[in-house]
Amino acid sequence: MKRFAAALLALMILMTCLSALAEGETETDAPAYPLDSLTVGNTTRLDGRFFTEMWGNATSDYDVRQLLHGCSLAEWDGVESMFVLNPQVVTGSAVTEDEQGNKTYHLALSHALYYSDGSRITAADYAFTLLLTVSPVIAELGGTPMHRDHILGCSEFAAGTSPVLAGVRMPNEFSLDITLSAAYLPFFYELGLLEVIPSPIQVIAPGVKVQDDGDGVYLTNADAAVTEPQFTAENLARTLLDDPENGRFGYISHPTVVSGPYTLAGFDGTTAEFDLNPFYKGNRSGVTPSIAHITYTLADNATMMEDLRAGKFGLLNKVTRADSVTAGLELAQTGHWRMSNYARSGLSLLNFCCERPIPASQAVRQAVAYCLDKENLTRAYVGDNGVTVDAWYGMGQWMVQVLSGTMDYPVIDPGEGASAALRKAYDAMIAEWESLSMANIRSYGLDLGRAKALLAGDGWTLNRQGQPYREGEDDVRCKDVDGTIVPLELVLAYPDGNAIADAMQEHLIPGAAEAGIQITLQPMAMSELLDQLYRRTDRTVDLVYVATNFEVLYDPAVHFSLDEEGRPVWSYTGLADDMLCQIADEMRHTEPTDYLTYVKRWLAFQERFAELQPAIPIYSNIYFDFYTDLLQNYEITSNVSFSTAIVPAWLGEAAEDTIEE
C-alpha cells in the first residue's frame, strides 16, 4: 500500500481506538450545564462575514452562516455523498432540455416557507439571491461576486451587457425555473449548482423588486413612480456594510431577517449569540432545533479543556492541536464528557503569491517546499492526528478515501446470480479502480540538497555584492535581474496569535536559511490576511499561511479567471497555467455518475498542482469535538459542520434502554 494510503488507514484505526478509549469512565464531578443553552468554542476567531462568502470565508463564519441561512433549493447528503433537492423547499420538479442542450430545472416551491420575521419566502427571494450575488456592485462594496456562469445568460448579466438574467424565470410566486447552460454541462455535481438560499430583498434592497417580463428576471424599482434607481452600490452600502462611527451594522455582519434554524441575537466581534427561529420549517428531514440559545465564541488552546471541565463551554468544535487533543481525551475518560472525531475535508498550506517577482519562479517555489520539514511540523502541531499532503486535497474527501481504501469503490456488485457478462464487466471495473494510485503525486519532504540545486539552476548564485554566493558565509542568495542584484528574501504572512508561527520558526526558517533563502514571518489580523489571500488589495507578502476546508462541491475551475493577456490565472495564488486550468475544466465536465473518470481527472489535477507548487500543502488532519454528555444525538461525523449537526441534537439525560420481557 502506498505511503499516503497507509498513513490514512493508520489514522482511521487511531480514530477507532481513540473513540473506544474515550468511552472508559472514571467518575468525577461535572458542572451544572443549563438544558436550554449551549456555549460552543472554536479556536478560529469570527470574522463577522455572516451573509455570504463574497467578503471572506473563514471556517467559523461558515458555521455561523449555516445556523442563520437555510431553505436551500439543494443540499449535500453526507450519507449518499451527493447533492439532492431539499424536500422541505422543493415540493415538485421536472427537467427539460432544449435543442442547444441547455437544461432547465422547473421547481415548485413550498408555500410554507417564512423568514424569521414571519414574512413569506417566495421564488423572488431565490431569484434575488442570484441577481445580487453576481452583480458588479458587489465588487464596488469590496466583495467578490460569485461565479454563476453555469446559469444561462449569467455572464452577460454580470458583465452588464444584458439587463436580464435569462436563465432564471418566475412563472408564478411559488415556481422557479433555472436553466443550466449547455456550455457548462455535463457537470459532475450538477444538482449542487442549485444550492441557492433565499435572501430578504425587503431588508437588503428596500424599494427594489424582482421582475420577470418573459425574458428572464431583473431588478427594478418597487414603486414605478420613483425615477431614480434604488438598486445601487450607495444604497446597498447602507444596508450591507458596517458603519461603526454612526452605530450602524449592516446585513453582512448582523443579518436581522434570516431563513435558517437560528436568528442572530448579538455579535460583539468575538462572540455571537443565537436564538431559535420560530418560523424555521426544518432541515431536509423536517427536524427543527430544540436548543433554545447558542453562544459561539473563541476558545484558547491553552485553557479550553479546563474551561470545558468548568462548564464555560458545552462543546468544543474542530480541536486540532496535539496537546489540546490529548487533554480532551483524558477528560473524555472521566465520565461526563464525550468525544467525536472525523477526517477533515481540507488542509493547512502556504499559499504563494505567484504574481510577485520572486514567487513567480517555479524553481523558487519548489526549493522553498524542500526547505520545509513537513513531517516534523505536522507532528509538532497536530501530533499523530494528521498526515502530510502533497496537493490540493484533504483526507476527509471521498476521492481520497476511495483511493486509500477506507471507502468502498462506487461500483455496484451485480451479485452472485449475475450473468457471466455482468460479472466480467464488474471485475474489469474493480481492476481499473485498483490501478489508480496517488503515488505519482510529487512529494516534497525536507531535502536541502535539492533546494540548493534548484536555486543554483534558476540563477540564484550571487551574494549581495554580486560575487559568487559562498555557502555558510553569505546570508542570502542573490540573482542578477536586468542589472540589479535581487536578494532571495520572502515575507510569509500568518494569522496574528496563531501558534503556527513557532512551528514555522523551527521547521521552515532554519532550512530556508541554510539553502540561502531569507524568510520573514509577518503576523496579520485575519481580515487583513484574507484581503491579501483573496487579492482584494495589492499584495505586499510572498506567502500566506492559511488553513482551508473544501466545500463539498469540489470545483477548482471556479477559482480561475482570465488575466489581461487572456491566460487562466488561479485567483488565490496568482499562478497562470493553461494545463492546470484545462484539467480542472475537464474534471467539472464529467458526467454526474461517472465516478471513475472524475477520479482519474482529479488525480491528474493533483499531479499537475504538485509539479507547479503554487502553494505548499502541509497537512490534513482529524478534527475532534469534545462536549458534555448531556448533548444527545450530536452526529457530527455524518454532517458537514457543527451547525448542521446541532439541529437534531438536544440537551438532557440519555433515555434508559428498556428491556421487554
The whole-number pLDDT of residue 543 equals: 98
Domain ranges of the chain: 3-44+260-342+626-651, 70-246, 346-443+490-502+514-621
- CA 294 – CA 493 distance, rounded (Å): 33
Q: Above 60 in pLDDT, residue 660?
A: no
User: 274 pLDDT exceeds 50?
Assistant: yes
d(CA 425, CA 423): 5
pLDDT at 1: 37
Say yes or no: do domains 3-44+260-342+626-651 and 346-443+490-502+514-621 share a fold: no
| Contact between 391 and 609 (Cβ < 8 Å) | yes
How many Å apart are CA 167 and CA 194, to the nearest integer? 12
pLDDT of residue 77: 85
* Cβ-contact 82, 67 below 8 angstroms: no
pLDDT in tens, 142-160: 998 998 999 999 999 999 9
In contact, 124 and 210? CB cutoff 8 Å: yes
CA separation for the pair 84, 566 (Å, rounded)? 36
pLDDT per residue as tens digits for the range 414-452: 998 899 999 999 999 999 999 999 999 999 999 999 999
Reduced to 3 states (helix: H, G, I; strand: E, B; else coil), residue 419 is: coil
From residue 32, alpha-carbon distances to 42, 244, 289, 329, 652 in Å are 21, 38, 22, 21, 11
Could you count the other beta carbons within 10 Å of the beta carbon of residue 27? 8
Mean pLDDT of 362-373: 98
Q: Are 146 and 152 in contact (CB under 8 A)?
A: no
pLDDT tens for 19-68 read 545 544 445 678 889 999 999 999 988 999 999 999 888 889 999 999 99
- Name the strand (E) or helix (H) holding 378: helix 374-382
Residue range 457-467, pLDDT digits in tens: 999 999 999 99
Class of domain 70-246: alpha beta
Is the pLDDT assigned to residue 481 strictly greater than 50? yes
| Alpha carbon distance 84, 107 (integer Å) | 13
Task: Report pLDDT for 657.
Answer: 44
Banded model confidence at residue 13, pLDDT cuts 50, 70, 90:
very low
Q: What is the pLDDT at residue 51?
A: 97
Distance in angstroms (rounded) separating the CA atoms of residues 380 and 388 = 12
Q: Averaging pLDDT over each range in 3-12, 378-387, 425-434, which range is the top one?
A: 425-434
Strands 37-42 and 74-77: unpaired
Q: What is the pLDDT of residue 21?
A: 53
Provide the CB-side half-sphere exposure for 458 (13 A, CA). 22
What phi and psi values does residue 233 have, to the nearest 5 degrees?
A: -60, -35
CATH number of 346-443+490-502+514-621: 3.10.105.10
Which pLDDT score is estimated for 7?
55
Condensed to tens digits (0 to 9), the pLDDT of residues 569-607 reads 998 899 999 999 999 999 999 999 899 999 999 999 999
Q: What is the pTM of this model?
A: 0.90
Q: Is the pLDDT of residue 271 over 70?
A: yes
pLDDT of residue 573: 95
What is d(CA 334, CA 100) in angstroms, rounded to the nearest whole number?
64
- Residues across the chain: 661
CATH class of 3-44+260-342+626-651: alpha beta
Spatial separation of the C-alpha atoms in residues 477 and 371, rounded to whole Å:
14
Query: How far are the Cα atoms of 25, 110, 277, 313 from residue 28, in angstroms, in the given order?
Result: 9, 50, 36, 17
Fill in the DSSP letter of residue 525. -
At 11, which amino acid appears? L
Confidence band of 79 (pLDDT split at 50, 70, 90): confident
pLDDT at 14 > cutoff 60 = no
Strand partners, 84: 75
Give the list of residues 6+ apart from residue 244 with CB closer than 8 angstroms, or none: none
Question: 639 pLDDT band (50/70/90 cuts)?
Answer: confident
* Residue 226 in grid coordinates: 420613483
